[in-house]
Amino acid sequence: MTRNATAQPLQSVLQRLLLLQGLGWLGVGVLSSGMALAQAPTVEEIPDPMPIQSAAPVPAVEPPAPIPTAPESFPPLALPAPATTRAPIAPAPRPAAVEYEAPSTIVFSERSTGCQSTVQSGQSVMNGPCGAPKPVAPPIAREVSTGVSAVQVGPLAVGSSGIGLATTTPSVRSYYNRTIRPPGRLGNGNVRLIFPLSIPAVISSAFGWRVHPVTGDQRLHAGTDLAAPMGTPVLAAVAGRVAIADFLGGYGLAVTLEHNKATQQTLYGHLSEIFVKPGEWVEQGTTIGRVGSTGMSTGPHLHFEFRQSTPDGWVALDAGVQLEYALAQLVNAMQTAQAKPGSKG
């Protein structure tokens, strides 16, 4: 009893002391906090910060598109045809047939003299386009010793010694027999023309109207040109007598043969050499000259003409068909000669 009685007063005393001590600590804390509040500085008003302006939005840059690579082969594109309606197109009217109108005038040109004549349509040409042919006065040979002159008429010369064959002019003499005369070719008995060259040659200019290669004007080509190398032997297409072997205007150095009682002529122009004289008789296939380019010529070739005598004068005829046939005969003969004996075909 006594131990419990003494213990209770001690316990109560301890509780009081602890209570007082706690209150003391609490008061000190309150005072210290009050002093801290009293010493704190006054708070100044801080102005509100300026609003931050946002920058303009930057546009987004799209990444570059990848560069397409060309395919190895492009497939064909099938494009649909546009559905358009068109009115049917009427066929164009056919042009009316144009009737040929013959020229009202024709210009004739004589190649040997260069004379030109205009003839109206339907008008006949008398004595050639330039009238009757005028004989060319040959040079007169004079004899100094006697004083008697000699006169040359065509292939004949009349002088103090009598009548004889005329000699060639000095200009022609330099073109006569300058080389060895080549052999000729057998004829066909004058049944038809033979090819007037020793070798085959093409026709470079046919008979008919053409633009003259030298003068450039429109002229009638009265013969047939055969292109051949310089110096190719020229043969007599038909047997006949030499009427001219001289320089003849635009024909250059030329030879003219007369046939069938002087009613027909063959002319061989632009020669470089001659082997015949006026008045000589030559057989068909005889070599009478060589291909040249004398006169109005642009290159080596033979100008061949066939003429027929008419009441109006000499008329040039187209011998192109006869020359083509003669060329075929020459080629056939050469192939036969080159064939080996006993070969077939």
87 inside domain: no
Residue ending a domain, among 126, 152, 168, is 168
Same structural domain, 209 and 252: yes
Same structural domain, 146 and 256: no
Which range (14-23, 291-300, 325-334) has the least confidence? Answer: 14-23
Phi-psi region of 6 (alpha: psi -120 to 50; beta: other; left: phi over 0): alpha
Same structural domain, 228 and 159: no
114 inside domain: no
Same structural domain, 237 and 303: yes
Across 4-17, average pLDDT: 68
Euclidean distance between CA atoms 275 and 184, whole angstroms: 12
23 inside domain: no
Q: With 0-12 CB in 10 A as exposed, 13-18 as middle and 19+ as buried, what is 292?
A: buried
pLDDT of residue 220: 83
Same structural domain, 198 and 334: yes
pLDDT tens by residue, 59-110: 555 655 555 554 454 455 444 454 555 555 656 555 555 454 555 555 556 6
Confidence of residue 321 (pLDDT cuts 50, 70, 90): very high
Residue ending a domain, among 123, 150, 168, is 168
130 inside domain: no
Confidence of residue 236 (pLDDT cuts 50, 70, 90): very high
301 inside domain: yes
pLDDT of residue 79: 45
Same structural domain, 219 and 325: yes
Diameter over CA atoms, the chain: 223
pLDDT of residue 77: 47
Q: Which domain holds residue 226?
A: 170-338
Same structural domain, 163 and 214: no
Same structural domain, 146 and 265: no
Enumerate long-range contacts of 256-265, CB under 8 Å, 24 or more apart.
Answer: 257/282, 257/288, 262/309, 263/308, 263/309, 264/238, 264/306, 264/307, 264/308, 264/309, 265/305, 265/306, 265/307, 265/309, 265/314
CATH of the domain at 197: 2.70.70.10
Same structural domain, 247 and 185: yes
Q: Give the total number of structural domains in the chain.
A: 2
Residue ending a domain, among 168, 188, 208, is 168
Same structural domain, 156 and 256: no
Same structural domain, 201 and 283: yes
Which range (9-18, 183-192, 291-300) has the least confidence? Answer: 9-18
55 inside domain: no
11 inside domain: no
Same structural domain, 309 and 194: yes
293 inside domain: yes
